[in-house]
Structure 1
Amino acid sequence: MEIKILTSLARGQAGILHHITANLVSFEYTRGAPHKPHTLVFVGGLGDGLGSVEYLSDIVRALDSTEWTVFNLILSSSYGGWGMGRLGTDIDEIAQTVEYIREYKEPHYGVGKVVIMGHSTGSQDVMHYINCPNPRPAHPIFDKCWEPILRTPVDGAIMQAPVSDREGILWVVKCGTARDSPAAMRELYNKAVEDAKRDTYEDNESVDTIVPLSVTGRIGYPPTAPVSSRRFLSLVSPDSPEKPSEDDLFSSDLSDARLKETFGMVGTRGLLNQKLLVMYSGRDQSVPPWVNKEGLLKRWQKAINADGRDFWDHRSMVIPNASHALSDPDQAEPRRILVERVTSYLNDIQKA
């Protein structure tokens, strides 16, 4: 039987709904004290939306007595929109939110700090924000009428549960499911990749095709969420590790050269004013058992600190026994560690 934890967010929270643009909104948890200069912008993972990540309630409570408020950003790719989304659009929307927050808060509360925090695939958004060219490269199909958006630097960045979607899917394929044997799963996966590569777009190469729900539902994705062939190929990245896709940022088999192009570009882009905090879950259900979590963090630290730079926060760690979203009934201690590290990090960001 599934046990649901009733969080304070589930019982209701005071706050302000901000219209960043006509179609982009963010909810600021104020708990009766909105007049705070500093901001933590929270971005959820695949399928997440407002208040769906339970540990966010712990962070909101921990920041009550501080000068920080939390903005829970609702991207166009939130909830069921992730299957049609892409990292480029996500970071454009994060950039618009960061700019909005600075313009909204500074005249009233003074110059404040802005930190972005991502959970799961939200971590891919965080990394993409601080490491890719500014403005980002245009997509040849979907950005024909796009106006480039310059991203402003953020004072800090946090990644929680930065897992590899590709390795998670490959683990499902390797083990099989209650319905499909490993052999059947491999055949299903290979055909899905082949079909997605062959027919990625339609209508004169201008419109996404959709991977059949009967396929995506059997390999681990929600059976109600449409996934485009383009996003599917980005998430499963079938040509990795030699030619990783945009979404393949955190796989354990990526080369040092690839990490130099991602983590290693953070210092060069100048979009992170201070340091990156990484909180990896020690018992993450999405991570295959062959992944050396501690070793992976050390490789990321080496890549981001190349050439004598220092962008790796010393509080980064693998949280013992932590599940992917720290939502299981036995997660009180992992959540305590997460909140303690995040609040300590934000305190140092504020002082810097």
Structure 2
Amino acid sequence: MELKLLTSLARGQPGVLHYCVRPPSSNQPSPLTTQTETLVAFEYTRSHVPKPHTLVFVGGLGDSLGSVDYLNDVVRALDPSQWSVFSLILSCAGGGWGMGRLGKDIDELSQCVSYIREYKTPQFGAGKVVIMGHSTGSQDVMHYINCPNPRPAHPVFDRNWKPITRVPVDGAIMQAPVSDREGILWVVKCGTARDSPSKMREIYNKAVADARRATYDDHDSVDTVVPLSVTSRIGYPPSAPVSSRRFLSLVSPDSPENPSEDDLFSSDLSDEQFRGTFGMIRARGLLKQKMLVLYSGRDQSVPPWVNKEALLKRWQTAADEGGRQIWDTRSMVIPNASHALSDSDQAEPRRILVRQVTAYLNDIQRG
């Protein structure tokens, strides 16, 4: 267990950089320690109020420390409370998202949650831990609480992997849980300033066919990479390599009949498929209390054909079907909110987000 005090890392916010490994004295060495020796989380520490409870934040594709602006608003709002905020820096953060996968993300999230409990319990006793994801971080949150525990092994990358049992969390928040597949299909349908819709469809179809044909190389032991000239025209950053495997998971070409690992939130998935994701949260037993979902009303990555309110209602029905209520009633579509609430006109949406999050955490704290 290592930590370093920092004063100017996350846009001037003071805090502590934690190296999320088990202390040498632990009699339960983590199977992840040798794989993720550089896994770190930044704990915001604006005040000297004792902080027994923890909000763990996970960003989306391309995010890293300090890149999601509204997190500063959340930190300020929680300053007088008993909640500290940990921003987890996944190994696929920044430009590494195209080579990442949800399985490894939740392994690292599990390691961080276990580390926080070991770090805080001797000081404060058993505090609450809530995980919060922005954008694709929402997929990590959902995967954490709804997939088998331990998770299934990946046939290529987990050949020497030791199963990791995830510990339960007290709450879960998903902000901007959007469908990457529907966002990409919207670009293909509309075309771009450079490519017409028919040209975009041609580029997309070829990229999918090539990724299917050669997903792995070197005796199926390493990823192949989709050419940057292709992924950049589809809408990904030209500097971010995307593996064929992750590309197929994000675009999920067999959906809606057979959605990929990353395709959790698409509006054309069936109620039965949502029962297999949202509906499995209760059965897994990894969420002790309720789940808060905050969808952005003016999300730039959501096609205009998606009925956001109706989609949230379907998720709620699947989550709450047949037992204890999972869905928190504060879940909502935030009016006029952009994807990351980062535009110049986002003061009111950010106020609403902070209000919903802090009220939810107060309820979690009361148990």
Q: TM-score range by the shorter chain?
A: over 0.9
Distance in structure 1 (CA, Å) of the matches to 2:196 and 2:316:
38
Structure 1 equivalent of residue 12 of structure 2 = 12
1:10: how far off?
6.1
Distance in structure 2 (CA, Å) of the matches to 1:323 and 1:203:
42
Q: Which amino acid aligns with 1:323?
A: S
Distance in structure 2 (CA, Å) of the matches to 1:268 and 1:108:
32
Q: Which amino acid aligns with 1:351?
A: R
Distance in structure 1 (CA, Å) of the matches to 2:62 and 2:267:
24
Match 1:250 to one of 265, 268, 271: 265
1:216 is paired with a residue whose SS is helix
1:204 is paired with a residue whose SS is coil
Could you list the structure 1 runs, at least 4 aligned residues long, displaced by more than 3 angstroms after superposition. 8-11
1:307 is paired with a residue whose SS is coil
Contact 2:138 2:174 in 1 (8 A): yes
1:33: how far off?
2.4
Structure 2 equivalent of residue 284 of structure 1 = 299
2:233 is paired with a residue whose SS is coil
Structure 1 equivalent of residue 45 of structure 2 = 30
Q: Which amino acid aligns with 2:153?
A: A
1:256: how far off?
1.1
Task: State how 1:218-237 maps to structure 2 within 5 Å.
Answer: 218-237=233-252
Distance in structure 2 (CA, Å) of the matches to 1:172 and 1:273:
39
2:259 is paired with a residue whose SS is coil
Distance in structure 2 (CA, Å) of the matches to 1:141 and 1:59:
39
1:70 is paired with a residue whose SS is strand
Match 2:282 to one of 267, 290, 307: 267
Q: Which amino acid aligns with 1:145?
A: N
Distance in structure 2 (CA, Å) of the matches to 1:346 and 1:87:
25
Distance in structure 2 (CA, Å) of the matches to 1:269 and 1:170:
32
1:32: how far off?
3.5
Contact 2:10 2:65 in 1 (8 A): no
Match 1:192 to one of 207, 215, 219: 207
Structure 2 equivalent of residue 142 of structure 1 = 157
Task: State how 1:1-352 maps to structure 2 within 5 Å.
Answer: 11-21=11-21, 22-33=37-48, 35-352=50-367
Q: Which amino acid aligns with 1:178?
A: A
Distance in structure 2 (CA, Å) of the matches to 1:216 and 1:33:
46
1:309: how far off?
2.6
Distance in structure 2 (CA, Å) of the matches to 1:263 and 1:32:
37
Identical amino acids, percent of aligned pairs: 77
Distance in structure 1 (CA, Å) of the matches to 2:109 and 2:79:
24
1:261: how far off?
0.8
1:23: how far off?
1.5
Distance in structure 1 (CA, Å) of the matches to 2:50 and 2:118:
14
Structure 1 residue runs without a partner (length 5+): 1-7
**Count of equivalent residues:** 345
Distance in structure 1 (CA, Å) of the matches to 2:75 and 2:94:
21
1:34: how far off?
6.5
Q: Structure 1 pair 34/187, CA: closer, same or farther in 2 (3 Å)? A: farther
1:9: how far off?
8.2
Distance in structure 2 (CA, Å) of the matches to 1:167 and 1:212:
21
Q: Which amino acid aligns with 2:269?
A: L
Q: Please give the TM-score of this superposition, normalised by the length of structure 1.
A: 0.97
1:11: how far off?
4.2
Contact 2:49 2:81 in 1 (8 A): no
* Residues 164-222 of structure 1, C-alpha deviations (whole Å, 9 max, x = no match): 00000000000000010001000000000000000000000111000000000010100
1:88 is paired with a residue whose SS is helix
Q: Structure 1 pair 123/296, CA: closer, same or farther in 2 (3 Å)? A: same
Contact 1:158 1:278 in 2 (8 A): yes
2:289 is paired with a residue whose SS is coil
1:218 is paired with a residue whose SS is helix
Distance in structure 2 (CA, Å) of the matches to 1:308 and 1:100:
31
Q: Structure 1 pair 182/288, CA: closer, same or farther in 2 (3 Å)? A: same
Structure 2 residue runs without a partner (length 5+): 1-7, 22-36
Contact 1:9 1:57 in 2 (8 A): no
Q: Which amino acid aligns with 2:118?
A: E
